[in-house]
Amino acid sequence: MLKEHVWDVVVIGAGPAGYVAAIRCAQLGLKTVCVDEWLNHKGESSLGGTCLNVGCIPSKALLESSHLYQQATSEFDQHGISISSLGIDIKTMQSRKAQVVSDLTQGILSLFKANNVEIISGRAKIIAHDTIEIISRKTRKKFDELKTKNIIIATGSSPVRLQQAVLKDNYIVDSAGALELDEVPKRLGIIGAGAIGLELGSVWSRLGSEVVLLEAMKDFLPMADKKLAALAKRSFNKQSLDIRLNSRLVSAEVKNKKVHIVYEDTGPKKLGEKKETFDKLIIAVGRKPNSDRVFGEELGIEKDERCFILVDENCQTSVPNIYAIGDIVRGPMLAHKGSEEGIMVAELIAGKQASVNYDLIPAVIYTHPEVAWAGKTEDECKSAGIKVKVGSFPFLASGRARAMAETEGLVKIIADAETDRVIGVHIFSVQASELIAQAVLMMDMQATAEDIALTMFAHPTLSEAMHEAALSVHKQAIHIKN
């Protein structure tokens, strides 16, 4: 016999959007339950969604391990550190990654308990505007039904699959499979040279793979600042990441324990079809929203042609008491964007005022150096008819960067020419993921380039580059020629 629950809020999904929404709802006094269907390789419930289980966190764990190995093999000697014997233990590396994931998933469970958020493991389906049925992942049978005043859909996204490259055993894998490789492939192919492809390519290249990235688009990192994208591509090429633009995959098949692919060179010279052979092939061509199976058409929740749930500025769907947040709605598929939407929706349900500033969503690519940006690019300003002033500062002129032997890259600040307000910041450097936070803060507080120039920064720090870039907007930089 099914138990009947009456909830203020049911959150579907426990990824960064869902679990944050659930916690904030509970903090605001709303009776909240979170339904999550994720099962780990042991068949156990594992909170945190894609980000924590097979995305942001495990990839950063492997990036850190592989970077340390690269430093030990090629950089320690310049610091006077010599190592007589050095090896790679992939099993230990993967074990450490798994422990990081486990610790954090358990952390979410502890936060749920501390905030009185109930958790149900199972697949949720909305069958009415106030009713959700819960289906067991193991038996595929309904085992519970929930009644609720509000619903928040946060079911995330999944890797896009290609018909011409069907996932095959351990040879053709998606981004999740790429995080589980138990040996270093001698030759690795990656379809897609976006954030996911570059990060995965960096991991395995540092550990010894010959990496080729095939990107169908003609431009490298088209969403980033053009100058920074060019700097990044040059840097990655030096790191033996073979990035081939205008390269469209035609076919891929596994024969004799190798992946044989055909791709078309669609560049200006139209070189036609080419062939390559790899030990492993990673498909990293983006993600799609998990909007199927969550509700039926009869419910009236509208979706667009790409299956994203349509929402207004408050993340409210076409059904008034049902909200959708995170990867399943418009905007960049980023964990922090989903989390902020979760907080906003929780506060709106509780009767408070809240909003998300979609103009200031920081983007980061965790390569080495890292690429990070927030706000507008120069091209976007030009298209919008905004006159700008631009300042930049290279890390080659940074004392801290030189002490770290990390002098690649720069900080670029874009300011409105009329108001002096900072409207875009673009960084290519070590720790750019940390530096971009102060850029978002300054823009959110509507700071001007002069405001930043008049602020005291500690010395020696990498963040001084932000200060100098702001000074450079008005041709007043101290440590470079204006």
Reported as a pLDDT band with limits 50, 70 and 90, residue 389 is very high
Top pLDDT among 271 and 161 is at: 161
Is 260 catalytic? The answer is no
* Distances from the Cα of 402 to the Cα of 78, 179, 328, 432, 463, angstroms: 13, 33, 43, 16, 13
Average pLDDT of the residues of the chain: 96
Tokens of 17: 């959007």
| Calpha distance 45→85 (Å, rounded) | 41
Determine the distance from the C-alpha atom of residue 73 to the mean position of all C-alpha atoms in its chain, rounded to a whole number: 28
The pLDDT tens digits of the residues spanning 418-443 come to: 999 999 999 999 999 999 999 999 99
Distances (CA, A) of 424 to 42, 283, 428: 45, 32, 14
- pLDDT at residue number 270: 80
Q: Is the pLDDT of residue 3 over 70?
A: no
- Provide the angle, in degrees to the nearest 10, between the axes of the packed helices 335-349 and 16-27: 30
pLDDT of residue 85: 87
User: Does pLDDT of 107 surpass 80?
Assistant: yes
Is there a contact between 266 and 248 (Cβ–Cβ < 8 Å)?
yes
- Average pLDDT estimate for 97-126: 97
pLDDT at residue number 4:
59
Could you tell me which of 139, 259, 240, 134 has the C-alpha nearest to residue 189? 259
- Quote the pLDDT of residue 451: 98
Burial class of residue 127 (count of CB atoms within 10 Å of its CB; 0-12, 13-18, 19+)? middle
Q: What is the pLDDT of residues 243-289, one digit of tens each?
A: 999 999 999 999 999 999 999 999 887 878 999 999 999 999 999 99
From 390, 396, 334, 337, select the one nearest 369 (Cα to Cα): 396
pLDDT at 1: 32
455-478 pLDDT tens trace? 999 999 999 999 999 999 999 999
Domains plus CATH for the chain?
Answer: 4-159+288-358 (3.50.50.60), 172-285 (3.50.50.60), 369-473 (3.30.390.30)
Asked if pLDDT for residue 2 goes beyond 50, the answer is: no
Per-residue pLDDT tens for 38-57? 999 888 999 999 999 999 99
The pLDDT of residue 138 is: 84
Q: Is the pLDDT of residue 324 over 50?
A: yes
pTM of the model: 0.96
Per-residue confidence (pLDDT) for residue 385, from 0 to 100: 98
Give the SS3 label for residue 254: strand
Q: What is the pLDDT of residues 333-347, one digit of tens each?
A: 999 999 999 999 999
Q: Would residue 281 be called left, alpha or beta, if left means φ above 0 and alpha means ψ between -120 and 50 degrees? A: beta
Of 67, 459, 467, 479, which one is the catalytic site residue?
459
Separation between Cα atoms, residue 245 and residue 282, nearest integer Å: 16
| Model confidence at 388: pLDDT above 90 | yes
- Report the pLDDT value the prediction gives residue 415, as an integer from 0 to 100: 99
Say yes or no to pLDDT of 224 above 50: yes
CB atoms closer than 10 angstroms to residue 226 = 15
Q: What share of the chain is helix, strand, coil (3-state, %, to 5)?
A: 35, 30, 40
**What pLDDT digit, counting tens, does each position of 53-66 carry?**
999 999 999 999 99
Q: Give mean pLDDT, residues 172-201.
A: 98
Query: 76: which 2 tokens?
Result: 């320690």
**The pLDDT of residue 5:** 66
Residue of higher predicted confidence among 466 and 4: 466
Mean pLDDT throughout 319-332?
A: 98
374-387 average pLDDT score: 98
* Whether residue 94 has pLDDT greater than 60: yes
> For residue 42, how many other CB atoms are within 10 A of its CB?
7
